[in-house]
A and B are shown apart, each in its own frame.
Chain A
Amino acid sequence: LAKTTQPISMDSYEGQEVNITCSHNNIATNDYITWYQQFPSQGPRFIIQGYKTKVTNEVASLFIPADRKSSTLSLPRVSLSDTAVYYCLVGSLMDSSYKLIFGSGTRLLVRP
């Protein structure tokens, strides 16, 4: 499974847009890109998933360039409650075992 690289931490302020970029140079043809959010003492929560170009849902947008070697999670107008760890994962949905590999994630701190 492809290894991902993302910033260890980021700071932002309420109301700003936050973009977290993840590198996955060895992504395979069948791999999807998935982002999870984790609050302290809670399980990871699925945010968004994509394969190429742009995906948008009610929570975030995911931008994936044509070469798919990186992706950017965009959180519009963050609030204090968006303070969490964000994980970028890549993996194939065609495997019989979809084994999620979590890195250390990006710790986002949203300040008032």
Chain B
Amino acid sequence: NAGVMQNPRHLVRRRGQEARLRCSPMKGHSHVYWYRQLPEEGLKFMVYLQKENIIDESGMPKERFSAEFPKEGPSILRIQQVVRGDSAAYFCASSPDLAGGRTDTQYFGPGTRLTVL
């Protein structure tokens, strides 16, 4: 069973460009989470999605950032008009459905390291 896949692993963008980060959850998982990690810090929650729905985006910046998890295909984290402060590692995690509305352990991908020049 393949783990969580993220691509690209490394992404370089110039200020003002768009960055698209992709995440394919583990097989059978319908919950996707995005986190951001700055050097020497812990991960910070950004957004939680299920298929075609954003459940919790309380950690997303109000502008320039968006996320989707379409019915078919990977989850996408999009950053428009990137700035140097967006440089970070972005991790995706997924978890399976459980009965009774419970969620479960999150399994993380290898991350995408975004560098903004």
Q: Contact residues of A with B, CB < 8 Å?
A: 34, 36, 41-46, 49, 87, 93-105
B102 interface contact, C-beta 8 A? yes
A93–B48 Cα distance when bound, in Å, is: 14
Binding site for A on B (CB under 8 A): 4, 33, 35, 40-45, 48, 55-56, 58-59, 89, 91, 93, 95, 98, 101-111, 113
Give Cα A88 to B76, complex, Å.
28
Indicate if the CB atoms of A104 and B41 lie closer than 8 Å.
Answer: yes
Whether B103 and A93, one on each chain, are in contact in the complex, defined by CB atoms closer than 8 angstroms, is yes
Contact between A98 and B106, CB atoms less than 8 A apart: yes
Known: A97-B55, A97-B56. A105 touches B101 (CB 8 A): no
Pair count A-B, CB < 8 A: 65
How distant is B93 from chain A, measured CB to nearest CB, in Å?
Answer: 8
Q: B43 and A100: CB pair below 8 A?
A: yes
Q: Which residues of B contact A95 (CB under 8 A)?
A: 103
Assuming the contacts A43-B91, A43-B108, A43-B109, asked whether A97 and B48 have C-beta atoms less than 8 A apart, the reply is yes
In the complex, how many angstroms separate the beta carbon of A67 from the nearest chain B beta carbon?
24
Task: Name the distance in Å between A85's Cβ and chain B's nearest Cβ.
Answer: 8
Whether A49 lies near B45 (C-beta < 8 A) is no
For this complex, 28 residue pairs linking A to B, each with C-beta atoms less than 8 Å apart, are A34-B105, A41-B111, A43-B4, A43-B108, A43-B109, A43-B111, A46-B105, A46-B106, A49-B105, A93-B104, A94-B102, A95-B103, A96-B55, A96-B101, A97-B56, A97-B103, A98-B95, A98-B103, A99-B33, A99-B45, A99-B58, A99-B59, A100-B33, A100-B45, A100-B93, A102-B43, A104-B40, A104-B41
